Amino acid sequence: MLKRSSIRRIMLATFALIITVLAINLFPVKDVKIKTKTYYKEASTSSIYLVDKNHYVARTNIYVDNSDKLKLAKELVDALINGTNKNKYLPDGFISLIPENTKVLNITIDGDTISLYFDENILNVRKNDEEKMIESIVYTLTEIDGINNVKIFINDKELTTLPQSGRTLPFPLNRSIGINRKSKITSIKNSKEVTTYFLANNNDESYFIPVTFTTDDEGEKVEIIIKELKSSENIDSSLKTYLSASTLLKNYELKENEVNLEFNNNILNQFNKIDEEVKYGIKLSIMDTYNVKSVNFNVK
């Protein structure tokens, strides 16, 4: 038999429960809605020159976080060094040549010239990769808008000679050093240099490989570029071009900062347009060779 105190406690608990149920039904708690805003940052890419599976220094792209010149330069240099966090995000099939554990001591920009200060570990590159490493650095950093020249320092001493190959470097470094250099001459008389951008493929992705030819061809450089790009006999079967052999360069005009080109209809595809791979390959080749800002296409 329950004691009077126990009965009292049960009645109080029951009463409290009833009050709680009534309160919930009479005064329901409103749903709390939290407003959130989602911000999307557009992914940016920058051109970078890395070594592909055929050991060419190739032009590909990498995602970057910065648009400021100095910050972008630091990010790209970081990607060019083996073993860094940024290096892990390189496209599949490409490698960088700056040796692992190389330290970047400082990077400065003065006008159109960028100066890179490395420690001595950068000199641990293999002899066969020495020139390609310099090419990848110079071509990568001169992709940054407004940067035309590169100076490389080991600690505080400027690098003027490659220690393993003995090659003397020009001062300052720029794209006149060439890239993936090849010779197509029978005589050094009237020789000239032309840089032509070929196509290559990696995992169904296309990218460009620039090749600087030393040639004794008597034609104008723009004529040599078109001749190379529509040739079926390239220096390497891995280098491709989609420019039809029946394409004719009918006329051209060389100006201070631009080149105007006129072609016959055979440069057009079935949709009466110029394929992007063809257009871009010609454009990159002429801009590198003539150091101009724009290339204009005309078809008659």
Whether residues 72 and 128 fall in one domain: yes
State how far the Cα of 45 lies from the Cα of 42, in Å rounded to an integer. Answer: 10
Instruction: Tell me, yes or no, whether 26 lies in a domain.
Output: no
Say if residue 70 is in the same domain as residue 142.
Answer: yes
Residue 228 belongs to a domain: yes
* Residues 151 and 238 reside in one and the same domain: no
Residues 128 and 207 in one domain: no
- The residue with greater pLDDT, 34 or 229, is 229
pLDDT tens digits for 164-194?
889 999 989 999 999 999 988 877 777 899 9
* 75 & 127 share domain: yes
What would the pLDDT profile of 244-266 be if each residue is shown by its tens digit? 999 999 999 999 999 999 999 99
Give the mean pLDDT of the chain.
Answer: 88
pLDDT exceeds 60 at position 269: yes
Q: What is the pLDDT of residues 100-138, one digit of tens each?
A: 999 999 999 999 999 999 999 999 999 899 999 999 999
Residue 29 lies in a domain: no
Residues 217 and 129 in one domain: no
Q: Does a structural domain hold residue 279?
A: yes
Residue 41, pLDDT > 60, answer no
Could you tell me if 89 and 133 lie in one domain? yes
Is 50 within a domain?
Answer: yes
Q: Last residue of some domain: 145, 177, 209?
A: 177
Least confident of 11-20, 51-60, 261-270: 11-20
Q: Let me know if residue 27 belongs to a domain.
A: no
Q: Which domain holds residue 163?
A: 44-177
Residue 252 in domain: yes
Mean of the pLDDT values across residues 70-85?
Answer: 96
Total tally of structural domains belonging to the chain: 2
Q: Give the residue from 138, 160, 177 where a domain finishes.
A: 177
- Whether 295 is covered by a domain: the verdict is yes
